[in-house]
Amino acid sequence: MNTIVAARAGRREWAGLAVLALPTVMASLELTIPNLALPAISQDLSLTSAQSLWIVDIYGFLLAGSLITMGTLGDRIGRRRLLMIGSTLFGVASVLAAYSTSAEMLILTRALLGLAGATLMPAALSLAASLFRDPRQRTVAISIVIASVAGGTAIGPLIGGWILQHFWWGAVFLIAAPVTVLIVALSPLLLPEHREERPGRMDLASAALSLVAVLSVIYGLKHLAAGGLDAVSIGSLVIGLLLGAWFVHRQHRSNPLVDLRLFRSASFSVSLSTLLFGVFVLFGANFFLAQYLQLVFGLSPLRAGLWTVPSACGVIVGSMLAPMLVRRVRPGYVVGAGLALSAVGFAVLTLVVPGTGLPLLVVGSVVISLGLGPMMTLTTELVVGSAPPERAGEASALSETAPELGGALGIAILGSAGTAVYRAQMADTVPPGLPEDATRAAEETLGGAVSAAEQVPDPVGDQLLDTAREAFTDGLHLIAGISIVVLVATAVGISVLLRHIRPSNESEQGREVTGASASRRSPGRTPRSAGTPR
């Protein structure tokens, strides 16, 4: 009996995957390292508070807003070519950022880094999917790419802290330069080119609409989280939603930037939604946990970064376990079980209390990350794998846009909910006898309460800190409770809606039989490639 199976990758493909891991690590480093360098940058360049926010946020803004456009561009001009162009731009922008002489120059170079970073993730994911046709190997390859992102996040605080202790702040940007040289040198040797055979004209109007729509929504959400519901946040959200609707309308035309037919696949749409909700709770929790480690437990930024390493390692372990689990268990059930495990981790966070809750906080965050690791790997693999090969770059870009948007929503919605609890409790419990400015600052944020406590005598300052930390803990508990509900609902949804997708072993056996039958019936016909969800 003849069988038709996907060819297994060899040494060259695995070496190519090692090259693809480099840009994902580099792009994720850029999300974490500048936060540690900000105090030194602020002192050297005399930053205002607004400039500090823009230096941190502009990278993520441009990254999220450009992913769809860059993914589609890679399908047209070639994904390897886009990876090399983006890596070169990333390296040049990193050097310019390192030697910036003003806040405006640093903001501009960070914006260039965001545009360049938007080329790296979709290109790496789509090339990984193109390199590995065997379903098992492709799942492993994508899990390695996802683990590389988590790995970059994990080592970012460690690398950044070490560099800042020995060099000036610009050195944190320079580490990207040699990595980009390596990518550009090795890509032509190890990575095949892949593009659409007959690409149409690029819809520049849709590209601009997608960029402005995503930027407007993210800016509105961030402003909502920081300053509450006002004209700016409402206006930005309305403009973003209207432009987004206009963008969707344009995609019904010929030669769209995003092929809306992709969303007809349950594997694609359900996986994309699950990815969004999973990162929604993760970023919402991390927004509070980073502050909790420093302002409640009193850890330095470097020590706080060290305590986040176990949770980042949990994502890596979960991502690497996913390919083994999905061989015997249906992907929908694996993802659903992972989300349920993350819900248990959030339940642990509801037990955290100031002073003695550090072990519980670390255990809870590790369990959360361990459960979300398989979700990130398998949903990304389903999104990319369910798309036609010529649309892999576009699908990869959407799989990167969903978590970016989910992260912004998580910070905005969950962050606002936790902050509202803190402000409501502090409005009634601030100790009497504080100066008016200190009272107002303490009622606004936990950081303001810590600063105010340093300006008053110890008994009152200690009472203020205890009150503020209790209020902040209650906000964390609310976030954990909301996250549990979201995760359980999402776990049930994906377990039911994707229960038809078989484990990879069963899928391969079924496709071998189908391929053999097809070859007997029609020798010239090629069956669907292995790994495509049924």
Residue 79 lies in a domain: yes
pLDDT digits (tens, 9 = 90+) for 153-200: 666 767 777 777 788 888 888 888 888 898 888 888 888 776 666 655
Query: Hey, what are 184's tokens?
Result: 């550009």
Residue 107 lies in a domain: yes
User: 271 or 287: whose pLDDT is higher?
Assistant: 271
Q: Which residues contact 491 (CB under 8 A, 6 or more apart)?
A: 335, 336, 337, 339, 340, 343
Q: Same domain for 142 and 229?
A: no
Number of domains the chain is built from: 2
Residue 38 lies in a domain: yes
Q: Which residue, 231, 256, 281, sits at the end of a domain?
A: 256
Residue 312 lies in a domain: no
Q: What is the mean pLDDT of the chain?
A: 77
Question: Of 85, 89, 135, nearest to 113 (Cα)?
Answer: 89
pLDDT digits (tens, 9 = 90+) for 409-445: 776 678 778 877 888 888 777 777 667 777 777 777 7
- Percent of the chain residues past pLDDT 70, beyond the cut: 80
Residue 146 lies in a domain: yes
Q: Which of these ranges, 152-156, 197-201, 287-291, 305-309, has the smallest mean pLDDT?
A: 197-201
CA 364 to CA 282: how far, in whole Å? 12
Q: Same domain for 92 and 139?
A: yes
CA 527 to CA 204: how far, in whole Å? 36
Residue 31 lies in a domain: yes
Task: Determine the 3-state secondary structure of 200 from DSSP.
Answer: coil
71 C-beta neighbours (distance < 10 Å), count: 31
Q: Same domain for 114 and 143?
A: yes
pLDDT on residue 54: 75
CA 498 to CA 319: how far, in whole Å? 19
pLDDT digits (tens, 9 = 90+) for 26-73: 877 777 677 667 767 877 887 765 677 677 777 777 777 777 777 777
Q: Same domain for 213 and 118?
A: no
Residue 25 lies in a domain: yes
CA 222 to CA 237: how far, in whole Å? 10
pLDDT on residue 304: 73
Q: Same domain for 157 and 233?
A: no
Q: Which residues contact 245 (CB under 8 A, 6 or more apart)?
A: none
Question: Of 380, 472, 466, 383, nearest to 422 (Cα)?
Answer: 472
Q: Which domain holds residue 217?
A: 203-256
CA 109 to CA 61: how far, in whole Å? 13
The answer to whether 133 touches 19, Cβ cutoff 8 Å, is: no
CATH code for the domain of 162: 1.20.1250.20
Q: Same domain for 40 and 125?
A: yes
The answer to whether 364 touches 483, Cβ cutoff 8 Å, is: no
Q: Same domain for 31 and 154?
A: yes
Q: Same domain for 67 and 135?
A: yes
Q: Same domain for 247 and 185?
A: no
Q: Same domain for 124 and 183?
A: yes
Task: Determine the 3-state secondary structure of 328 from DSSP.
Answer: coil
Residue 316 lies in a domain: no
Backbone angles phi, psi at 358, to 5 degrees: -60, -45
DSSP code of residue 327: T
Q: Same domain for 178 and 251?
A: no
Q: Same domain for 141 and 126?
A: yes
Task: Determine the 3-state secondary structure of 347 from DSSP.
Answer: helix
